[in-house]
Amino acid sequence: MVRSETPSASRQTRNSRGQSLRRSSRLKGEVPETPIDEARHLRNSKRRTRVQVVVPALPRIRRPQPVGLGRIRASNTNQRGSPALLAPPPRHVGTKAQGYGMAEASQRIRELQEECAHLESQLACMRETKSLLTQHSLEDVASAKLKSLEEQFSCALCYEVMACPYILNPLSCGHSFCALCVLKSLFSRLHSACGTWHEYVECPLCRTPLFLCLGSSQSRAVFPFTPNRALDTVIENAVDLLEADVNGFTLSPSSPLMDWAGDGSAKTDWLDRRRNGREEMKFLTSSWARMKSVDFVSFKSRLGV
């Protein structure tokens, strides 16, 4: 049977421990004077015990070495993926996913460039088509104007566009012709031997007689022709508009519209007939009242009929 220690026995045990501590402290030269000093001495001894356990492990720990620029670069080279502290970043840095992203971006850029080139070609084609349609439309309008000019204002004697139109005097007639055409028609019936007309002169279209008062009753007031200035203005404006339309776009040299350009053959011929007809009519009008048979024959030769 185990005996339990009495308070006196425990007290004796503590006293013996204190005596042993005091004995060891006395040997080391550290003698606690009070119970507080004794407790402090006990704590310090425990700390020294822990330090004695830790100190033998210190040689196994690598001492830190001074860090240099070359060592940092070597560390960055050996440890792949660690950020460089002082070394300059490499030019081509990127993971495989970033490489795939750059490739996709480059492919997308090429696709967009090809699409832009395709759209530009389509736009150029549309512009060319629009230009052709516009040219064909303008050409159709100009052709319609030329057709109207030739159908409505053609001379019944030369079948060309009337140049300097003149109307016959009889009010029952009212037909207009080119100045040169109507003069040649009149003087072609003049008898060259006697210098007079032996038959009635009539309208080439409706055969209305044209009375010529010659001799003593011959005067400027009974001149057989009258200028049709209204019709002359209409024809002149139509020719100018046609020329403007023709000069506004490009035509093939074989197109009939090219004849009515600035230096076209039809335009040049019309201007010549207009100028010559006006000059001949002006001369005949101013000389009609005093002209004799010889003068009529001379004028007929001048006209070449």
Query: Does the residue 74 lie in any domain?
Result: no
The contacts of residue 252 (CB under 8 Å, 6+ apart) are: 258
pLDDT digit string (tens) for the chain, length 305 residues: 444 445 555 555 555 555 555 555 554 555 445 666 666 767 777 666 655 554 555 555 555 555 454 554 545 444 444 444 445 555 554 555 555 578 888 888 888 888 888 888 777 777 776 565 566 677 777 788 888 888 999 999 999 999 999 998 766 688 899 999 999 998 998 888 888 887 778 888 888 887 776 654 565 557 888 899 999 999 999 999 888 888 777 667 777 888 888 888 899 999 999 999 999 999 998 888 888 889 989 999 999 88
The pLDDT assigned to 65 comes to 55
Cα(183)–Cα(54) distance, integer angstroms? 144
The boundaries of the domain holding residue 298 are 165-303
User: Contact at 8 Å (CB) between 227 and 166?
Assistant: yes
In angstroms, what CA-CA distances link 302 with 111, 184, 280? 80, 10, 9
The pLDDT assigned to 22 comes to 55
Cα(227)–Cα(231) distance, integer angstroms? 9
Query: What is the number of domains present in the chain?
Result: 1
The pLDDT assigned to 102 comes to 82
Query: Does the residue 118 lie in any domain?
Result: no
Cα(158)–Cα(136) distance, integer angstroms? 31
Query: Does the residue 184 lie in any domain?
Result: yes
CA 239 to chain centre: 35
Cα(180)–Cα(236) distance, integer angstroms? 17
> In this structure, are strands 176-178 and 165-168 parallel, antiparallel, or unpaired?
antiparallel
List 197's β-bridge partners, or say none: 190
Measure the CA dihedral 91/92/95/98, to 10°: 110
